[in-house]
Structure 1
């Protein structure tokens, strides 16, 4: 039993080591390396769709990582690199899309849904409170029956 557990653990660790992409790119200086890795981690892989360029193992992500690394070493600004990627692959590559007219629903949608939900809850609570505080008019017959029930309850 221990042998099976040890073998499973060894395979899991080996699989985790293989999952990390290894790039052999020589940066001109450590600052460029930090900037390039930060920028690549903020861009989404067009093939994987749920991983950034640094975490993805796909060939497309590898090529794009190297492209980002080269552009950083060539002295391009972050905005120039992001513009290049969005021109080539669309706004999808950005984890944080720009606030523009076409992304207004994306940015404003959650806020609008929250406000709509808050309004519905407020109206529901207000209606419930109104029902509780409303006086009920009893007919003479109902009042007589109520008095009888109260008298019986007091006698017990």
Structure 2
């Protein structure tokens, strides 16, 4: 058992000794920083709720590679953004510009919220008007009083035991 433990720990230490540091994604750290800054402002088209910088999908890797190529070609950040918007539409941006074609993206959630609140109030009002308030007859009141008196007597008898 000791020999097995020694063999496993030596293999583990050898593996750790040969482990390499992660290779940088770009040769130039400035290029990599620009890539991260630009890709954090863009949405992954596959994940849709994750930034391009944080996504690990194949499409996100391809788009980051494309952005890295554009940076190396000397394109400005704005030129890269406009290239991505021309190719994939305003949806690729986390903060698309407010224009008639993107009004639904900007106003849609608020419209859905207002419709939901209006539906809720309408439902609650309708439910309250449909709920009937029934008044009890004198006979029903007498029956209830009799039942309560009977229950009260039973409770007193139980507490005496």
TM-score by length of 2: 0.55
* DSSP 3-state at the match of 2:109: helix
2:43 and 2:128 map into 1 onto residues whose CA distance is 49
Asked if 1:136 is matched to 2:143, the reply is: no
Structure 1 segment 54-133 matched on structure 2, within 5 A: 58-72=61-75, 76=76, 78-122=77-121
Aligned position for 1:38: 37
Cα-Cα RMSD:
4.4
- Higher relative contact order structure (alpha carbons within 8 Å, sequence separation ≥ 6): 1
Note the residue ranges of structure 1 that are not aligned, 5 or more in a row: none
Cα 1:135–1:85 change in 2 (3 A) is: closer
Displacement of 1:121: 4.7
The runs of 5 or more residues in structure 2 that have no matched partner are 155-161
CA deviation string 1:86-122 (max 9, x = no partner): 1233224323222222222222222233333444555
Once the two structures are overlaid, the 10-residue window that deviates more, 119-128 or 145-154, is: 119-128
Q: Whose Rg is larger?
A: 2
Q: Is the partner of 1:115 in helix, strand or coil?
A: helix
Q: Does 1:17 align with 2:15?
A: no
**Alpha-carbon distance in structure 2 between the residues aligned to 1:64 and 1:80:** 10
SS of aligned partner of 1:17: coil
TM, length-normalised to structure 1:
0.56
- 1:99 and 1:131 map into 2 onto residues whose CA distance is 44
